Amino acid sequence: MSVLQPVRGTHDLLPEEARRHRLVEEIAFDVAKRYGFGEIVTPIFEFTDVFSRNLGETTDVVSKEMYTFTDRSGESLTLRPEGTAGVARAFISGGLSQHLPLKLFYRGPMFRYERPQKGRLRQFHQLGVELLGVEGPQADVEVIALAAHILQALGLKDQVRLELNSLGDAPSRAAYRDALVAYLSGHKDKLSKDSLERMERNPLRVLDSKDDSDKAVVADAPLMVDYLNDESRRFFDTVQEGLAAAGVPVFVNARLVRGLDYYCHTAFEFTTTALGAQGTVLAGGRYDGLIGQMGGPVTPGIGWAAGIERLSMLYAGEAVVRRPMVVIPMGVSDSAVVVTQRLRQAGFTVELGYSGNMKKRLARANKLNACAALILGEEEWARQALVLRDLDTGEQEEVPLAVLEDRLARFR
């Protein structure tokens, strides 16, 4: 009989890795709370339209990568491939337009059927933020400054670089789109089949192509920055000035784009060279047209998402694990339940030495990196006491149960 294995592209988070994973989440959320962000938790699956209308029918995510299925009532449902669409849907269906501006933080698993790669599996985890209801560039500055602050709190400040670009407003994008199509039309013989199709439907997506031939064509394509109108330039300049005031260094990357039409103005990524080819750690942008496109009230928004696996791989700190103490009952097993529950209720981390002789139980305590052993013998228990052994020094003493918590205070 073959041994059961995890599905390709999935990964078990065993205790040590899970601790680091959770610590990254908690550090990020702690910083986000200082900026006024509250947590939102959306379902892991949604009606398929939530993503197809958001991401676009022609995108690789929708056409090739989504985990979509029909449930028993005949509804088409999809495991979420990203977090923003679910947040936008919750904003619409929850009638949250009366509560603007909204600052939302999310975290959890996402699903994409794509080739597994370093730090990005088919089930992966993201954390992200969305700021809804603020039109001005101050929202862009705050959201990007928050991202930089989180990366700094994770000890990654010197490992990442902020790349920034402007996608302009709708008139600027329309002018750029015309110029880009005119340029690409002169190079159709060098473009891939996918890019030829994209050129007709969504030409900006050609700029994201991974095909080598497409990359060669795109290298000489017009730049968005050359088609920004005065209003878009002022917006972009204000964002850069705000980030400079916040102490966030910026590298302007004129090739950084977002292909979907609801994106506008600011696009950004924090990248690193520490993970090989998969260099994007955190990415986001302004999406003023998204909620209106999904059927809600026209609402400005900006946000970003980061892969928790990649952040965890880069994170240099260690998850702090509270050292336990071990209760070892020797012939008085019921008393062990009394003592362990009492100490756990008092806030101590307590393991139970289940079986074996004293030597084996102490060996297990050392394997757990326990700080102390509480030995419950019949004679001591008759005196309403136990033996406390400091596993670092080897010293031991008899401690009355009446003052147990006080005597254990140094082990917290």
Q: Which fold has domain 325-411?
A: Rossmann fold (3.40.50)
Q: Which residues of 50-63 are buried (b: 16+ CB within 10 A; e: fewer)?
A: bbbbbbbebbbbbe
Reported as half-sphere exposure (CB side, CA atoms, 13 A), residue 382 has a value of 4
**Nearest-angstrom CA–CA distance, 365 and 324:** 9
Residues 6 or more apart in contact with residue 182 via CB below 8 angstroms = none
Tell me the three state secondary structure of residue 370. Answer: coil
Token reading at 396: 């031991």
What is the secondary structure of 265-278 as a DSSP string? EEEEEEE-STTTT-
Q: Give the model's pLDDT for residue 119.
A: 72
| Pairing of the two strands 76-79 and 251-252 | unpaired
**Nearest-angstrom CA–CA distance, 165 and 280:** 15
For residues 354 and 3, which has the higher predicted lDDT (pLDDT)? 3
Tell me the three state secondary structure of residue 215. Answer: helix
**Nearest-angstrom CA–CA distance, 367 and 326:** 11
Q: What is the mean pLDDT of residues 56-78?
A: 82
Q: Give the model's pLDDT for residue 296.
A: 94
Residue 58 has pLDDT above 60, yes or no: no
Domain ranges of the chain: 15-169+229-314, 325-411
295 phi-psi bin (left φ>0, alpha ψ -120 to 50, beta other): left
Single pTM value for the model: 0.86
Q: Give the model's pLDDT for residue 320.
A: 64
Q: Which tens digit of pLDDT belongs to each residue from 225-257?
A: 999 999 999 999 999 999 999 999 999 999 898
Mean confidence (pLDDT) of the chain: 90
Q: Which tens digit of pLDDT belongs to each residue from 279-300?
A: 899 999 999 999 999 999 999 9
Q: Give the model's pLDDT for residue 278.
A: 61
Q: Give the model's pLDDT for residue 332.
A: 67
**φ, ψ for residue 136 (rounded to 5)?**
-75, 165
Q: Give the model's pLDDT for residue 206.
A: 86
Q: Give the model's pLDDT for residue 250.
A: 97
Residue 193 confidence class, pLDDT cut points 50, 70, 90: confident
**Nearest-angstrom CA–CA distance, 191 and 292:** 33
Closest to 305 measured CA to CA, from 157, 36, 108: 108
CA 182 from chain centre, in angstroms, equals 39
Q: Which fold has domain 15-169+229-314?
A: BirA Bifunctional Protein; domain 2 (3.30.930)
Burial class (CB in 10 A: 0-12, 13-18, 19+), 389: buried
Determine what percent of the chain is predicted with pLDDT higher than 90.
Answer: 65
**Nearest-angstrom CA–CA distance, 128 and 174:** 29
Closest to 12 measured CA to CA, from 127, 123, 128: 123
